[in-house]
Amino acid sequence: MGLLALLGMEAWILGSFICYVLPSLFLLLVVLLRLYGEGSNIWSLQSCAVDLTGKTAVVTGANSGIGKAVSCELARRGARVVLACRRLTEGQKAVADIQKTTGSKELLLRELNLSSMASIQSFSQKLLQEEPHIHLLVNNAGVAGMPCILTSEGLELTFMTNYLGHFLLTNLLLKGLLGAGSARVVNVSSYRHKYGFVNEQHLVGAGDPLRKYQNYDCSKLLLILFTEELAQRLQGTGVTVNSVEPGIVKTEIMKNCIWLYRSIFWLLSVFFKTPEQGAVPVLYLSFAEELDGISGKYFNSKCNLTLPSEPARDLEVAHSLWNTSARLTNLEKITERE
């Protein structure tokens, strides 16, 4: 074999190592640190006997993954669960699976596209007519791996789906939450929020450049800021709001990423939590009795009360973000009409 051929093969091997092996090893290290660096859960479903009969819960992104697992446990405990899904075909399958597992007849499937303000308004109006009292809202749906794309309403798709859509939805369902007397809002964030930063121009596809897939990180950071501002505004109303990171969970969250990222995710998924395990910290915030009256806080994947990143604790930024979000979603005009 000639010298050039040998050099070419060595270059190919080195390139493959850099492109595939190193990223895999790095992600594996991150996964292991996340899974074992925080200790064990301080709470379990088995230790909690809360019955949710007579309560109404709304879960976004309930057709699969964490949302489906959360909906299943809520139904098992007797709650009337509204599965808010973008794709009704997948939602119907989720309803059938949950009914088979729990025997619940209190499942409602409703269409909701969180990237569309029109869909959010339609969903909210119809739901409040059916369910005037909402005891739990789990803002779970999210997308990752999407390029910077504007929706037909001029908002960046990932930020709209992961943050702005839930901002608008929560505000439009406040009447039902307040009417319940005592209610909870749970915002599902991510440990990835630590790699994000705040630039309100991102909401309309402008602002400082983002690295590949960083729009996901930033959107999850905004969700925590929203949690803190909303908690301030709801003081004394009986409605609490908290945010949580579920950990690294084997779901469909990577389906829009490039094949390399999907492949690495799949290879390492043996170390990840199942959706049922990822649902535990979300369920902890949803009905654990020791969290009655607790609001504006952030919990990690082990159900521990902890601090999010420093940018996620800036109350002035949270207030400014609220005002910008309200303007972009036409919140005042919408609520006046209703």
Q: Looking at residues 76-90, what average pLDDT do you find?
A: 97
Q: Which domain holds residue 161?
A: 16-337
Q: Is 214 exposed, middle or buried (0-12, 13-18, 19+ CB in 10 A)?
A: middle
Q: Give 266 or 248, the one with higher predicted confidence.
A: 248
Q: Minimum mean pLDDT among 127-141, 145-159, 261-275: which range?
A: 261-275
Burial of 56 (0-12, 13-18, 19+ CB in 10 A): buried
Query: Does residue 33 register a pLDDT over 90?
Result: no
How distant is the alpha carbon of residue 32 from its chain centre? Answer: 22
- Please state the domain count of the chain: 1
The reply to whether 233 falls in a domain is: yes
Task: From residue 244, give the alpha-carbon distance in Å to each of 133, 181, 189, 232.
Answer: 24, 23, 6, 17
SS3 state at 235: coil
pLDDT digits 0-9 by tens, 105-115: 999 999 999 99
On whether residue 307 sits in a domain, the answer given is yes
Residue 243 has pLDDT above 50, yes or no: yes
Stronger pLDDT, 54 or 275, i.e. the higher one: 54
One-letter amino acid of 274: T
The answer on pLDDT for 46 being more than 80 is yes
> Is 226 within a domain?
yes
271 found inside a domain:
yes
* CATH code where residue 277 lies: 3.40.50.720
Could you give the percent of the chain with pLDDT greater than 90? Answer: 73
Residue 63 is assigned to a structural domain of this protein: yes
Does residue 3 sit within a domain?
no
Residue 4 inside a domain? The answer is no
pLDDT at 212 over 90: no
* Tens digit of each residue's pLDDT (9 = 90 or more) over 177-207: 999 999 999 999 999 999 999 999 999 999 8
Catalytic option among 216, 261, 284, 298: 216
pTM: 0.86
Lowest mean pLDDT among 204-218, 219-233, 243-257, 275-289: 243-257
pLDDT of residue 39: 53
| 270 CB burial (10 A radius; 0-12, 13-18, 19+) | exposed
CA 88 distance to own-chain centroid: 19
Positive or negative, the CA dihedral 95, 96, 101, 102 is: positive
Reported confidence tier of residue 9, pLDDT bands at 50, 70, 90: very low
Packed helices 214-233 and 315-328: angle between N→C axes, nearest 10 degrees: 100
Residue 311 lies in a domain: yes
Judge whether residue 19 has pLDDT over 70.
Answer: no
Given a cut of 70, is residue 44 above it in pLDDT?
Answer: yes
The answer to whether residue 216 is catalytic is: yes
